Amino acid sequence: MKIKAFRRPRGYANNIASLCAPLDRQVPGEEKSLKQKASVMMPYTTNEVKPKGWLLRQLQIQANGLSGHLDEFWLDIKESKWIGGDREAWERVPYWLDGFVPLAWLLDDEHLKQRAKRYIDGILERQCEDGWICPCEKKERAAYDVWAALLICKALMVYYDCSRDERIPDAVARALRQLNLHLEHHSLFNWGAARWYEGLIPLYRLMRIRGREDWMEELIVKLSVQGTHYPTLYKNWYYKQPKNRWDLLTHVVNQAMMLKSDALLACAQGRDPDAFAEHAWRLLMKHHGQAYGHFSGDECLSGTEPTQGTELCGVVEAMYSYEVLSALTMAPKWGDRLEAAAVNALPATLSPDMCSHQYVQMANQIECSVQPQEHIVYRTISADSNLFGLEPSFGCCTANLHQGYPKLALSVFFEDREGIVAWMPYPAELKTERKGKPVTVRIVTDYPFRDTVVYEVENPGGAEFRLSVRVPGSADGATADGKAVPVGTMLDIPISGDCKNRRVELRLQASIRTEQRPSGMFVMRRGPLLYALRIREKWTEIDYERKKTDTGTPRVYPFCDYRVEAESPWNYALVKGGRMTYEEREPGAYPFSPDGAPCAIHAEMYEIPWTKEYGRCRNRPDSTRHDAKRHVVEWIPYGCTNLRMTELPML
């Protein structure tokens, strides 16, 4: 059967009702009309997608970690005002639900599902008669930042797509209709103004279910008029250098979220959804990009030095922006960018068991400790920000980290007008229908730790459709069933009526390559994986009485705070032209961990003078002097490290 590879032309939706939401097959006639009007991809639901292999293992680890237990002991969730308690009444429960809900349904875990339902029931029971859904008194509404309203509506629609709870569309419609009225007298401010476009996601999903109503069109206009206009900001880009001050316009999470802002609005206006996102992404990466596929921000944009931090919230929100941009633009580059963040930045800032996390990670990170107050390297956050803990620095990442892996799993497959799109080459299974006939697609692989991806199609009903496979742009080359195909493109595989079963083997060629960074130092890559020098480490639990007093949440093992210190040398330089060898290993119980790393590179290196100060290494080595002795030193995938050196000189 002929396999054709080509670069897909960019497309955009001509109808906002087709935007960024699973096909609601319960609405008669909807699928046909939407497919005639839309040239976007739409995600499948947890009812159709099941993760496998290492991706399933990551979700299981997540459920056994913070994500699956936060509501049992973290008071901002356990006793939140959203469910009748007296604790935090704003973003934390909505953030947590946005990731906890798809996690529960992807794992098909009834206990987790019931706990999610308890929160949904509590939120719906407390919704006001006029539709207001956030937990505050009526007299407090004018001063309430409605970012939480946008976020809870998004989380509720995620719950609907997982559970098909018929209460949800009406509750979200009432909440958004009330928000439309609220904005007539109380304009967006603060976080609501910075993140206004997030409200378009549940609004568009609601249109798919209920159809358009006049108030919906009004709300789109009000949100876009009252919210921050990022195209103007990026046309007048004043942020090439870090500002060393906190503000909403350079806040890293806002920057990560806003990448999808114009794309969402463009779909309502019939414009190209890619242009602004590409322009903004390039500026961010040029002036603040880090080697692990994300831009810095501790908390605000912080430049390219490998000793500046990047906030975990920014990583998961950038991933979600790339997922939305993937669906709206169908451009393979957004899949590559999603992958870079997903297999490098995300796991590196979580402990291997996901029972603790950092607020910020660093590319060159030789210690995780509380920095002296007068020598904090971070620009606008606290001295404990790179500890592994329950809520280092601030609790937003504790609430928001949960969406990373579940939404990644839901981006493995998309549906478009002509068939099924295998977007992320990760192990998963899709069971769906094409024109009423059952179809199963499996991705069998250990990628990105291995170089082969097998696609298996079962098509007992003889449906005719196209399986479209994204070939990662990070590969040096690729073959499909032995035939060369271009990387960074879409590979189209026709599945014909007489084809009951089909198997395609995609082999990716990858070599070790070094890349110079703005620092003048070098990083090492192979395929989509960034590698970092492995440092032996010592973890020490911190008895944090201050935190117990301030937050009311005690640290109970394993959900503790930890200091991590180096127990092996890290002061090295790469040998120019030195020998490098690649090794595959059996993955451990925790694939993203120093001991469980499924692959490694052994590189020749010189030991050089390089000192640390105040818990971090200096930006550059003290000297490049070295003796002639070459040390063979182990590098592992960046996402498998907790302590690391990533950018090093080459001598």
The CATH class of 418-509 is mainly beta
Q: What is the pLDDT, as a whole number, of residue 518?
A: 97
Among candidates 171, 179, 184, which has minimal Cα distance to 145? 179
pLDDT digits (tens, 9 = 90+) for 59-97: 999 999 999 999 999 999 999 999 999 999 999 999 999
Token digits for 459? 């098509």
Q: How confident is the model over 486-506, as a mean pLDDT?
A: 89
Token digits for 476? 């040096």
Among candidates 228, 177, 165, which has minimal Cα distance to 202? 177
Cβ partners under 8 Å of residue 267, min gap 6: 12, 13, 16, 19, 20, 40, 204, 273, 328
Statement: residue 545 has pLDDT above 60: no
Q: Say whether 297 sits in a helix, a strand or coil.
A: strand
pLDDT digits (tens, 9 = 90+) for 607-618: 999 999 999 999
CB-CB contact of 502 with 481 (8 Å): no
pLDDT digits (tens, 9 = 90+) for 115-128: 999 999 999 999 99
Cβ partners under 8 Å of residue 28, min gap 6: none
pLDDT digits (tens, 9 = 90+) for 225-252: 999 999 999 999 999 999 989 999 999 9
Cβ partners under 8 Å of residue 166, min gap 6: none
Statement: residue 548 has pLDDT above 60: no
Q: What is the pLDDT, as a whole number, of residue 15?
A: 39
Q: What is the pLDDT, as a whole number, of residue 557?
A: 84
If one compares 376 and 283, the residue with the highest pLDDT of the two is: 283
Backbone angles phi, psi at 139, to 5 degrees: -70, -15
> What is the separation of C-alpha 640 from the centre of its chain, rounded to a whole number of angstroms?
17
pLDDT digits (tens, 9 = 90+) for 158-212: 999 999 999 999 999 999 999 999 999 999 999 999 999 999 999 999 999 999 9
637: β partners? 531
Statement: residue 21 has pLDDT above 80: no
Statement: residue 47 has pLDDT above 60: yes
Q: What is the pLDDT, as a whole number, of residue 556?
A: 79
Q: How far apart are CA 434 and CA 93, in angstroms?
A: 37
Statement: residue 501 has pLDDT above 90: no
Statement: residue 3 has pLDDT above 60: no
Domain-wise residue ranges, the chain: 418-509, 524-553+568-645
194: β partners? none
Statement: residue 511 has pLDDT above 90: yes
- Mean predicted lDDT score pLDDT of the chain: 92
Q: At what angle do helices 200-210 and 147-163 cross, to 10 degrees?
A: 40
Among candidates 646, 479, 482, 499, which has minimal Cα distance to 572? 646
Among candidates 326, 596, 589, 594, which has minimal Cα distance to 468? 326
pLDDT digits (tens, 9 = 90+) for 305-358: 999 999 999 999 999 999 999 999 999 999 999 999 999 999 999 999 999 999
Q: How far apart are CA 223 and CA 202, in angstroms?
A: 13
Statement: residue 16 has pLDDT above 90: no
Query: Where residue 552 falls among pLDDT bands split at 50, 70, 90?
Result: low
Statement: residue 4 has pLDDT above 60: no
Q: How far apart are CA 456 and CA 34, in angstroms?
A: 28
444: β partners? 454
CB-CB contact of 472 with 508 (8 Å): yes
Where b means 16+ CB within 10 Å and e means fewer, 461-489 reads: eebebbbbbbbbbbbeebebeeeebebbb
Q: pTM for the whole thing? A: 0.94
Statement: residue 39 has pLDDT above 80: no
Cβ partners under 8 Å of residue 162, min gap 6: 45, 46, 47, 101, 102, 104, 105
Q: What is the pLDDT, as a whole number, of residue 498?
A: 67
CB-CB contact of 396 with 89 (8 Å): no
Q: What is the pLDDT, as a whole number, of residue 555?
A: 76
Q: Say whether 531 sits in a helix, a strand or coil.
A: strand
Token digits for 152? 């809870």
CB-CB contact of 13 with 38 (8 Å): yes
pLDDT digits (tens, 9 = 90+) for 408-445: 999 999 999 899 999 999 999 999 999 899 999 999 99
Q: What is the pLDDT, as a whole number, of residue 373?
A: 83
Are β-strands 428-434 and 49-51 bridged in parallel, bridged antiparallel, or unpaired? antiparallel
Q: How far apart are CA 196 and CA 219, in angstroms?
A: 11
Q: How far apart are CA 401 and CA 404, in angstroms?
A: 6
Token digits for 180? 């439309």
Statement: residue 276 has pLDDT above 80: yes
Q: What is the pLDDT, as a whole number, of residue 23?
A: 39
Q: What is the pLDDT, as a whole number, of residue 231?
A: 96
Token digits for 504? 């395609």
